[in-house]
Amino acid sequence: MDRPVSLQLYKAAMLLSGVGDALGYRNQLWEYNESGPTIHKELQELGGLQHIAVELPDWPVSDDTVLHLATAEALATGKEGDQLLHDVAFRYTEAMKDMEGRKPGPSSILGVSQLRPGCDGGYRVPYNPEGTGCGAAMRSMCIGLRYPHPDQLQSLVSVAVETGRMTHPHPTGFLGAVASALFTSYAVQRRPIMSWGLGLVKEACPVAKSFVLSQGYAVEETLRDWDYFTEKWTWYLAERGLSSGVGPACWPHPYGPVERDLAYKSFSLSGWAGRSGHDAPMIALDSLLGAGSDWGELMSRAGFHGGDSDSTAVIACCCWGLFYGTEGVPECNYRNLEYRDRLESSAEKLPRGRVMETTVLDSTLVGALLVVPVVLLTGLCLSCRKHSHTSIQQNYDVDDDTQYFPAGSGGFRIVRPAGPVLPASTNPFNMSESSGHSSHLLSPISPLLHQSRHSSFVPTEDGSIPSYENQESPHGVYVDDKEDDDAPGYIEVLPDPPVCKSVCASHQSLASVQSSGTGELDYVNVDSDTASEKNYINVKDEPFGLFPGVSCESIDSEENDSSDYVNAPPQRGH
Give the Å distances, CA to CA, from 486 to 303, 442, 468, 490: 89, 33, 15, 10
Report the sign of the C-alpha dihedral through residues 432, 435, 437, 442, in that order. Answer: negative
Angle at 268 between CA 265 and CA 269, to 5 degrees: 135
CATH class in words for 7-361: mainly alpha
Domain-wise residue ranges, the chain: 7-361, 391-544
What pLDDT is attached to residue 3? 73
User: How many other C-beta atoms lie within 10 A of the C-beta of residue 116?
Assistant: 18
- Of 300-314, 368-382, 464-478, the range with the lowest mean pLDDT is 464-478
Ramachandran bin of 233, using left for φ above 0, alpha for ψ from -120 to 50, beta for the remaining angles: alpha
| 548-554: average pLDDT | 33
Task: Examine the pLDDT at 455 and tell me if it is beyond 60.
Answer: no
| pLDDT classification of 4: cutoffs 50, 70, 90 | confident
CB 312 within 8 A of CB 285: no
Instruction: List residues forming the annotated binding site for Mg(2+).
Output: 62-64, 308, 310-311
Which residue type does 437 have? H
Is residue 444 over pLDDT 50? no
pLDDT of 153-169, one tens digit each? 999 999 999 999 999 99
- Tell me which range, 80-84, 353-357, 385-389, is most confidently predicted by mean pLDDT: 80-84
pLDDT in tens, 228-261: 999 999 999 999 999 999 989 999 999 999 999 9
Distance CA 113, CA 133 (A): 17
- Is the pLDDT at 571 greater than 50? The verdict is no
Of 125, 131, 239, the C-alpha closest to 177 is: 131
Cβ atoms within 10 Å of 492's Cβ, excluding its own: 18
- DSSP character for 475? G
Does the pLDDT of residue 537 top 70, yes or no? no
- pTM for the whole thing? 0.65
Please name which of 331, 314, 347 lies closest in space to residue 188, comparing C-alpha atoms: 347
Q: Is 359 helix (H, G, I), strand (E, B) or coil?
A: helix
120/509 Cα distance (integer angstroms) = 59
> How many helices, marked H, and strands, marked E, lie in the chain?
20, 4
Q: What is the Cα–Cα distance from 295 to 297, expressed in whole angstroms?
A: 5
The binding site consists of: 62-64, 308, 310-311
